[in-house]
Amino acid sequence: MTIVSIEPATPDRWDDLERLFGRTGAYGHCWCAYYRRRAKDFTASVSCAPAERGAGNREELRRLTLDGRIPGLLAYEDGLPCGWVSVAPRDDFIRLSRSRSLRPADPDEPGVWSVVCFWLPPRRRRKGLGAQLLDAAVEYARDGGGRVLEAYPVDTAGGRAPSAEVYTGTVRMFQKAGFACSAHPVSGRPIARLALKAD
């Protein structure tokens, strides 16, 4: 696979992001809004009538993108979007601060960015594109002033997991990229962290 570029999802790239996610908004009408919306708002968007399913989540991602908030990075091959990673300052993800299983040990720690989601169409998976997107996310967070990049991967040491369960990435992928993984003090879920700048 030849990746021409990995670019920030700027307002002029909204159509590419919408094309990549397709009618169903990537993972079941999520539109990469799961961590960005309150639980009740996200649930209302995915459990409504089929004709409207995911519309609220799509609109949230569209609003962020068109407002210039840069919700993540898009990979391109031959001029067409072929992959996505959601990376932004941790404060942009309201669900992280409210989640018992992922709540930060130090919510006031400055300069923390988070990687919360990858989306690759099925024919693009298991070809190294996720690792390329992760490398780009590291550089993007560093260039944006981040001190630490944090992620919430799935441990697949016991075998493969379905793609829909590893949308946050795998422990192995993050470890290969230099992240240190530890267990969340309350939930035991893996937390991956990488220092981007020396203290």
Structure-token pair, residue 48: 């409504």
H-helix or E-strand containing 112?
Answer: strand 112-119
Residue 163 has pLDDT above 70, yes or no: no
Residue 27 has pLDDT above 90, yes or no: no
Among 13-17, 50-54, 80-84, 95-99, where is mean pLDDT lowest?
A: 50-54
Structure-token pair, residue 10: 């700027």
Strands 190-195 and 148-151: antiparallel
Residue 119 has pLDDT above 70, yes or no: yes
Decide: residue 168, CB within 10 A, 0-12 exposed, 13-18 middle, 19+ buried: buried
- pLDDT: is 70 or 45 the higher one? 70
When divided into structural domains, the chain yields a total of 1
* 66-72: average pLDDT: 93
| CATH at residue 23 | 3.40.630.30
Q: How far is CA 127 from CA 88, 169, 178, in A?
A: 25, 14, 19
pLDDT of 162: 56
Report the alpha-carbon distance of residue 193 to residue 199 in Å, rounded.
15
Q: Do the Cβ atoms of 84 and 72 come closer than 8 Å? A: yes
- Hey, how many other C-beta atoms are within 10 angstroms of the C-beta on 26? 24
Nearest to 76 by CA among 30, 19, 126: 19
- For 59, the domain range is 5-195
